[in-house]
Chain A
Amino acid sequence: MSDLPPPPPPPSSTPQPTTAVPSSAVPTQPDPATPPQTRPPPPTSERVRIAMGAPAAPNEVLSVQNISKWFGDVVAVSDVSFSLGPGVTSLLGPNGAGKSTTLRMIAGLASPSQGAVRVFGENPRKNTAVRGRIGIVPQQESLFQEQRALDFVTLAGQLNGLDNPAGKARAMLELVELDPDDTRSIATYSKGMRQRVKLAQALVHDPELLLLDEPLTGLDPRQRIQMTELIRSLGAGGVCVVVSSHVLEEVERLGSRVMVIAQGRLAASGDFHEIRALMDDRPHRIRVRTNNPRALGAVLLTGSGITSLHVVDHETVVVDTEDADTFRRTIAGVAKQANVSLHGVQPLDDDLESVFKYLVGR
């Protein structure tokens, strides 16, 4: 537990302005919530074999320049650029948006079809030393099934050249709330336990860049809270943490800056709250069920904020509005004014997919 960095500072009251990002833009994102801090250096023995590459700019850990990745005719990532320093950054996007591909290119596991990735100023695919500064939790569940968790994490430490890999592995397993003395093989572990083993192996060598691909998948609510706190702490301690997620609430809890990726493009970036507002401010489509849609529609059109209205059948009207919150607050009163019964109000485009499509189309 002594490896835990101090808890994160409270979120800044002056978040960065949020922008929908043209695909060719290069947003540099200092962490608004966690000013850059210097991590205590790891023991010299652990780092002695790692030649440090000169970073391109102060505090810049990661630089992604106009990367694209395509598989045959399918474009997975299209002209994405950003640079990151210490702190937590979330890649938010629906499944298949290109998050994992982006993470894999950052780690060097795949090469971009176009563009360049630099980690600490170096190409992670070609520079052996840089790989020792990266930790990754891949999305796939696969682990060395027949091993004990302690052996698996110890191996990771050994391959990273640690002096006492077993000791460090024990500490990391305790950090993720697993029993280092568990004699069972990983094959018997639940999905959540495997997820924590993966995190332990990613942390065992004190990486300065930590890439987490859907790290909260499979965890129970208590474990999610614990893992979220751990990720926040690492970011506050100076680690550049990049987390991919398709769950908005997860990203919110991480209190991080956010990059929205949809259809392979960087659609927006900035502080979470600004992204949230951007999503909420878009036009919304709402289905209202009533005993008299025409009467309700007539009254709705006399008010403001309704951009279009369509009576679908004898009990349904679909409304487009730019102010969904106001609509939800006032619809009951409007129904009363129109002297109709209200049977249901249902948003039709509140799923993340619709949100991301909107952001991409802006």
Chain B
Amino acid sequence: MSTVIAMSKRIIPAIATRGRIIAMLLVGVVGIAVGMFIRRAEADFEPEELLLQFLSQFGFVIFVPLVSLVISTAALGTLIEDKTLVYFWLRPIGRWKIALAALLAGLFVLLPLVLVPMLGLSLVAGSSSTTGALVGALVGVVAYTSVFTMLGLFTQRALAWGLGYILVWEGIIASFSETTGRLSIRNYSTGAMQHLVDLDVQLVENPASMATILIVVASIAAVCFAVTTVRLNTMTVE
């Protein structure tokens, strides 16, 4: 495990660049600012439901996937781009350790970067949504990090492909029907929040049970991890 942590420590500075961190924090700040605006503007009309809808839409459709995309695709993508992957790859260690190190590095950077703004936004929306917002964000971060870390290994245009996936699949196709919704990560992160919100609010239709959500997210993470490891085993390293 020490080798995994050692590699993670090297990956973290490569992905947590000042520019990326500031840009992603700004997105979170914008979300909180909009939430505060809604609360003030709608102060006379029971703002909780509207704010929860905003928290759900902004948090799980835009903020969590976007931040996860920017950070996670860089975890292995940066190593390929600057040709430093060779210094991990040509060592007598299993490739799965490289995949795990990238995943852990992504999570290490993403968790505070996502959870803190989501906490702020949930406090603006009302304290009853805090646990749901954080658990939902956690579910989303784990799933998206797995997917986008893998994506960063397959293409140098991972950001563009990932953005297309977020906008087209998660944003449009997933909302067509309940069936396509089941194939989107946002459905599970929003569903997790739905289960933990005190108010009687419909954030997602027929959310999967909490156990199903955890199983699905674990499955996504496991499959992506396996594919990443296989890819590391078979790829050409510059």
Contacts and interface: CB of A to CB of B under 8 A. Distances in A.
Interface of A: 49-50, 104, 107-111, 128-132, 134, 136, 138, 140, 142-144, 146-147, 152, 155-156, 158-161, 201
Contacts of B238: 109, 140
Contacts of B91: 131-132, 156, 159-160
25 contacts: A50-B92, A104-B237, A107-B90, A108-B90, A109-B86, A109-B89, A111-B236, A131-B90, A131-B91, A136-B90, A138-B83, A140-B83, A140-B238, A142-B82, A142-B84, A144-B14, A155-B6, A155-B7, A155-B10, A156-B87, A159-B3, A159-B6, A159-B91, A161-B92, A201-B87
B2 interface: yes
B92 A128 contact: yes
Nearest to B98: A159
Nearest to A131: B92
Contact of B93 (A110, A142, A147, A159): A159
Interface residues of B, number: 22
B88 interface: yes
Contacts of A132: 91-92
Interface string B78-105: 0000111011111111100000000000
A152 B87 CA distance: 9
A359 B94 CA distance: 43
Given A158-B3, A159-B7, A143 B90 contact: no
B10 to A, nearest CB: 6
Given A109-B237, A144-B84, A158 B90 contact: no
A158 B89 contact: no
Interface of B: 2-3, 6-7, 10, 13-14, 82-84, 86-94, 236-238
Contacts of B82: 142
Contact of A158 (B2, B83, B236): B2
Contacts of A201: 87
Given A138-B83, A155-B6, A146 B90 contact: no
B235 to A, nearest CB: 9
A147 B10 contact: yes
Contact of B87 (A128, A144, A146): A144
B93 A128 contact: yes
A127 B41 CA distance: 64
B92 A142 contact: no
Nearest to A138: B86
B46 to A, nearest CB: 50
Nearest to B10: A144
A134 B236 CA distance: 17
B90 A134 contact: yes
A110 B238 CA distance: 8
Given A109-B237, A132-B91, A143 B7 contact: no
Contacts of B2: 158
Contacts of A159: 3, 6-7, 88, 91-93
A95 B237 CA distance: 20
Contacts of B7: 155, 159
Contacts of A143: 84, 87
Given A144-B84, A158-B6, A109 B92 contact: no
Nearest to A155: B6
Contacts of A156: 87, 91
B227 to A, nearest CB: 18
B86 A160 contact: no
A168 B156 CA distance: 36
Nearest to B92: A132
Contacts of B84: 142-144
